[in-house]
Structure 1
Amino acid sequence: MLRPRVVVLGNGPAGIAAACVLAQAGVDIVLVGQESGHQLKAGESLPGAALRLLRRLGIASLESLLTPDAFLGCSATVSAWGEEHWTYKDALYNPEGGGWHLLRHRFDAMLLAHARAQGVPTLFGHCHSLTPRGSGHRLTVSTAPAGEDRLTVIEADFLIDATGRHCWAGRRLGARPVKLSQQLAAVGWLNGLHDDRDNSTRIKSVADGWWYSARLPQGLRVVAFHGLPRAVMALTRHPDAFRAACHASGVLPASLKAIPRPQKLNACDASVTLTPHAAGENWLAVGDAALSFDPLSSQGIFFALYSGIRGAEAALACLHQPAQRAQALDDYRQQVMRVFAVNQQTRQLFYTRELRYRQHDYWQTQQRAVRIHR
């Protein structure tokens, strides 16, 4: 049996950020999650402002975390939204820089390696059950390969849920995540584009959704279509249809004459989901478990790191100043809600700007969602 003061469930960026801050404060913790894989993952945009958050975790620069073949600088955002004309916004206008496009699986793996090097104890496994224990929590984790029966019991005073959109622990503790928009993404990775030199983020709206593309290291380029579930699943099931729709959209740089069949094609949840009560008695949620973003914002990793840090600080206040526990948890909830409100305002600005397709189902759905939930 393990008896840490805090257990962090989920070893993505949000959980790792929370674990690092707690470890820096000398708190006895355990970080529970799954072993890092080697498969390509969506969520490759890291804003320049994220450097401040990485430094809070003891990471001096992106170069000190990743090898050069795992990330590329983003030079600009190029968009055709609300009109056919392309608008170019140079990264020089952003005082914190244009950020980076990175190999997400490598970023996650090296972030976890950094946490372990900082002394964060990790346990690889799947959460099995969660029950109250006095004023804390009792958790069982399956740490054996499939088919074997091996459970590790963890008893902790405080729990941080970083399990992503599933909000695994939060749901069992009474939280109810609310999906505020219906949107999926068909995400494909094109390989072998070694002559590709376009380092911009490219976004283009079309009648049934919008397209996104960015160059990645090692001759890769990610392309994603965001739309209603039926349209997305139709493309995900048929790679050649995805390639044809990508070509027809015009989202790719003109310098790319031939579009290869996607090396990998996934359907991903791209909806906005909010957990209105993202903190409760001796627990709180961070990252996607608290608030998942519309990919249009490119703020997923940033919020994961930010909320992980802020959530850990709230947990520290609960542990060290019990009389201030209610205030610390309420302050954290309010921080999440403020981020949500700003994000909704930005979504409303973008989705209501596209007037050409306002009679199409996708745009009516998104415009209705930002009006109702702002």
Structure 2
Amino acid sequence: MSRPDIAVVGSGPAGCVIAWHLATAGADVVLVDDGRRPWAPVGQQLSSVALRVLRTMGVAGRLAAITAPVAEARSVWADTTLAHRPALFNPYGPPLAVSRSTFDAVLQDAARDAGARMLQAHIKAVPGPGGWRLAVRAPQPRTAHRPAPPPASSLPVAGGPIPVLIDATGAARAISRGRLRWVCADRLRCSAWRLPPRHPEPFCWTLVEADAPGWWYSAPEPGARKLTVIHARKHPTRTVGSGRPKPPPHTAARLGTRRLPRPGTERVADIGSADPPWADKLLAVGDAAMAPDPLSASGLRHALELAGPAATAAIALLDDDTRPAAAYAELVRTAYTRHLGKRQLLHAAASLAETKPSGGP
């Protein structure tokens, strides 16, 4: 493989879209997919405002088969009153419930079609003179007839250093962790289930229900008769098992049960931002640049909308021009500040729910 101008590590939405922008602009870009999915994103929504990015990429027409319009958002906050917010009143149209595995595959195809090269491998990035050296090791099983692969440092990805590296590894921040200053606003422990609803639902609707010491989110999965259920709560400094939390009344009514199995997946989510999201020859995008509260459903929108300015910044860094990177940092900072303001209002409402008795649906 010849040396690319820019390497994008992480093939989720942020990585794929910025790779598409870079390849479309004429940059030689390699998109690295390490194949590891420690936390499969579930219950995600694609904002209707962000669809313009997908139209520009020419993939909007492929969304019908992998998404479902969210007709209504329901919520329960400081009391047991169920609030309804129909998508009919959204001037941009309804948001879309999206299956991330198929959505990511569509975006990877778009990046590849634009000219980005794909590399499936585990990598290690080492800064040095002239840029970054990537050492790769393709995942392969270890057997009696196949010894362990050689150390990553012995398998260079290219003949020389790569001028600019982009961290699109999501909340893991596999490249930028320790290299970019991270400001953490909060930490949540999230548990997720995939469960059937009590009754078949005529249309797709989401439910957010506050319940001490956190909140619950549920939404149908596109093309599946399953509900994604997420329970998020404050992350304690000391955890003694995850237990089996009981869902609050409206969520329990939707599931038809007050008992849940042990969660299929768990993670700790840092709500924070890289400030600034770039350094010399290094740029962070997506959740590696700004990780919003999962309650906000804004992660995909930010990943798509900020990929264009990030690509402009990355290309400028090839010529040591840092002005677009500074402009990109300001966009990230503005979006994060706006997010924190909205988050404060939502969590203030949720905190009131902790002080009031629960009622039935």
Q: Confirm or deny a common fold (TM above 0.5).
A: yes
Taking the aligned partners of 1:315 and 1:331, their CA distance within structure 2 comes to: 12
Residue 315 (1) aligns with residue 314 (2)? yes
Taking the aligned partners of 2:58 and 2:198, their CA distance within structure 1 comes to: 35
- Tell me how far 1:130 sits from its aligned partner: 1.4
Residue 96 (1) aligns with residue 92 (2)? yes
- Tell me how far 1:88 sits from its aligned partner: 0.6
Partner residue of 1:82? 78
Greater fraction of residues in helix: 1
Q: Does the Cα contact within 8 Å between 1:14 and 1:162 map onto a contact in 2?
A: yes
Residue 168 (1) aligns with residue 168 (2)? no
Taking the aligned partners of 1:5 and 1:196, their CA distance within structure 2 comes to: 49
Partner residue of 1:45? 45
What is the DSSP-based 3-state SS (H/G/I as helix, E as strand, rest coil) of the residue aligned with 2:224? coil
- Tell me how far 1:260 sits from its aligned partner: 8.8
Taking the aligned partners of 1:230 and 1:328, their CA distance within structure 2 comes to: 39
Taking the aligned partners of 1:205 and 1:186, their CA distance within structure 2 comes to: 15
Aligned partner of 1:221 among 223, 227, 233: 227
Partner residue of 2:62? 65
Structure 2 counterpart of 1:336, which letter?
V
- Tell me how far 1:124 sits from its aligned partner: 0.6
> Runs of 5+ in structure 1 lacking a partner?
361-374
Query: 1:71-150 maps to which residues of 2 (within 5 A)?
Result: 71-134=67-130, 136-146=131-141, 147-149=148-150
Taking the aligned partners of 1:235 and 1:99, their CA distance within structure 2 comes to: 35
- Greater alpha carbon shift after TM alignment, 298-307 vs 28-37: 28-37
Structure 1 counterpart of 2:344, which letter?
Q
- Let me know the Cα RMSD of the aligned residues: 2.8
Aligned partner of 1:152 among 137, 152, 156: 156
Residue 283 (1) aligns with residue 282 (2)? yes
Query: Aligned pair count?
Result: 344
Partner residue of 2:208? 203
Structure 1 counterpart of 2:113, which letter?
A
- Tell me how far 1:280 sits from its aligned partner: 1.5
Partner residue of 1:31? 31
Change (3 A) 1:310 1:194: farther
- Tell me how far 1:358 sits from its aligned partner: 6.2
- Tell me how far 1:119 sits from its aligned partner: 2.5
Q: Does the Cα contact within 8 Å between 1:191 and 1:262 map onto a contact in 2?
A: no
Taking the aligned partners of 1:25 and 1:329, their CA distance within structure 2 comes to: 17
What is the DSSP-based 3-state SS (H/G/I as helix, E as strand, rest coil) of the residue aligned with 2:48? coil
What is the DSSP-based 3-state SS (H/G/I as helix, E as strand, rest coil) of the residue aligned with 2:4? coil
- Tell me how far 1:54 sits from its aligned partner: 1.1
- Tell me how far 1:14 sits from its aligned partner: 0.4
Percent identity (aligned)? 29
> Runs of 5+ in structure 2 lacking a partner?
142-147, 357-361
TM-score (structure 2 length as normaliser): 0.86
What is the DSSP-based 3-state SS (H/G/I as helix, E as strand, rest coil) of the residue aligned with 1:267? strand
- Tell me how far 1:112 sits from its aligned partner: 1.2
Structure 2 counterpart of 1:184, which letter?
R
Structure 2 counterpart of 1:65, which letter?
R
Change (3 A) 1:31 1:23: same
TM-score (structure 1 length as normaliser): 0.83
- Tell me how far 1:148 sits from its aligned partner: 1.5
Taking the aligned partners of 1:223 and 1:196, their CA distance within structure 2 comes to: 15
Structure 1 counterpart of 2:266, which letter?
A
What is the DSSP-based 3-state SS (H/G/I as helix, E as strand, rest coil) of the residue aligned with 1:20? helix
- Tell me how far 1:295 sits from its aligned partner: 0.9
- CA displacement, residues 112-165 of structure 1 (integer Å, 9 cap, x when unaligned): 12222333201011122312232x222212224253126232431111111112
Q: Does the Cα contact within 8 Å between 1:160 and 1:286 map onto a contact in 2?
A: yes
Structure 2 counterpart of 1:58, which letter?
G
